[in-house]
Chains A and B, each alone.
Chain A
């Protein structure tokens, strides 16, 4: 579900050198993006102009990375179905699916008939 708070924008950052031979392709929301292997998810999203990474649980305020070192907890996104992952501490991998976190963490919804948990 898209709201005006989630629109992408012109990237604030761009890589200084030409892309390395080793790139990784991941999905962010509806888009496929490619970045060099070893890039953090936060850096990848910033390079691709993600705008905000999440909206807060309290007032749905738009937030994006602040510290890039794992202390501010602003870069929380959903990665491969798991909520509240710190994007700046997670390295991209091929096929990774990243989504913005809208409000509070959403736990995996119950699958009908399947009560086996994890």
Chain B
């Protein structure tokens, strides 16, 4: 495959990538799909093919449904390059990747980037201590190995995944010590404005309510409207403190699972110098694309959560929409078929997006949990740069994230801004009293995933 040009190369084996592959194959396109994991499914359907009966039952029917998707993908005739670390995607339509320590490249007529989402960083005091992980990380651990917490576990933050994980843990027989929920009353009020949309997405709503009911029945202690979270410990997490209804609380725990939503993985789109807009409702950068997901006239498309958080079902639909657009460009689909297919897909997408404004309003992360006010909080984990240090940079003339690199190596470590970028943008915006849009983001350059000098030289 390396020397011939494929019609469509897809990066990412989550719902968007898999659905795009299936749709593209339907129209006769040659497809190569590259993904970092050994098995297809992305993060949401992680390990679905290997999961036993028990695990599928615990994780629920939405998860189990992923198996149908991975099966359809396996049978659709696309080439699947697994365990591939894509380190560069160029506007010259070349993709560079690493498989088993060997660097390879391929060329495609069209590229679809479907690298999904990651958990939003949660810069609290003590968040870098061993034993502090994302709730999504713990869920991945369960999906891939069936591992459960050995002690009653504390979950903290906001967002549907927090409750989903708690629910799944209960199904699996684990004990929840407490849920420290940072959703405030004002969030409910704000969310109520989007109730119509929420009701149109009533199936999602009903699911959520069922989970909450289960938690109530199991008498899981929930501290609603919590604020001022902070994690304590010397060499590892020992306890989490917070303010609840004006009272200070502290709960001992060696494992603290944090979550405040997910944000798009934008390393590829930034490295391609796509324009990005700052979304005040999603509080993240959204790459600018046309309605099919194409960046400029580049032939490179983005679908799924990496284009803006839309959830699994909408991600799948976006993947299909992009595939149809590519098929049309390559004259593999007749106008009539195209119109019919797009009409159906756009209708699906609309209904799948009904719940979004409601969720975004309801689960908006607290300002103080996105922009740490305590100076000692580590913002850049790799280089251990604190919020206080970054604020000082702005006092001596640092205007934006790229200049922080000159002042103190912020964003220069292995993660290349993934865990600090959003925080740095918002911190500087707050300090300068301008919008995040005006502050901008790090210049992202290849390699998007680390590659050794030897692998590059070979």
Contact = CB atoms under 8 A, between A and B. Distances in A.
A69 to B, nearest CB: 6
B149 to A, nearest CB: 6
Interface in B331-358: none
B150 A10 contact: yes
Contacts of A4: 235
Contacts, number: 128
A48 B50 CA distance: 22
A51 B138 CA distance: 16
| Interface size band for A | 35 or more
Contacts of B140: 68-69
A87 to B, nearest CB: 12
Nearest to A72: B419
Nearest to B172: A16
B415 A73 contact: yes
* B contact face: mostly helix, strand, loop, or mixed: loop
Interface residues of B, number: 50
A78 interface: no
A36 B55 CA distance: 16
B235 A52 contact: yes
Contact of B236 (A38, A52, A67, A84): A52
Given A38-B50, A39-B145, A73 B414 contact: yes
A73 B43 contact: no
A69 B265 CA distance: 12
Nearest to B413: A73
B134 A68 contact: yes
A67 B383 contact: no
A53 B235 CA distance: 12
B169 to A, nearest CB: 10
Given A69-B118, A73-B415, A64 B131 contact: yes
Contacts of A43: 141, 144-145, 147
Given A61-B128, A67-B136, A13 B450 contact: no
Contacts of B236: 9, 51-52, 62, 64
B52 A17 contact: yes
B320 interface: no
Question: Looking at chain A's contact residues, is the secondary structure mostly helix, strand, loop, or mixed?
Answer: loop
Contacts of A38: 38, 50
Contact of B415 (A59, A68, A71): A71
Nearest to A85: B450
A66 B384 contact: no
A38 to B, nearest CB: 7
B145 A47 contact: yes
A14 B131 contact: no
B146 interface: yes
Interface in B14-33: none
Contacts of B150: 10-14
A103 to B, nearest CB: 12
B131 A36 contact: no
A76 interface: yes
Contacts of A69: 43, 118, 136-137, 140
Contacts of A56: 382, 384
Interface of A: 4-5, 9-17, 36, 38-40, 43, 46-47, 51-53, 56, 58-59, 61-74, 76, 84, 89, 91, 118
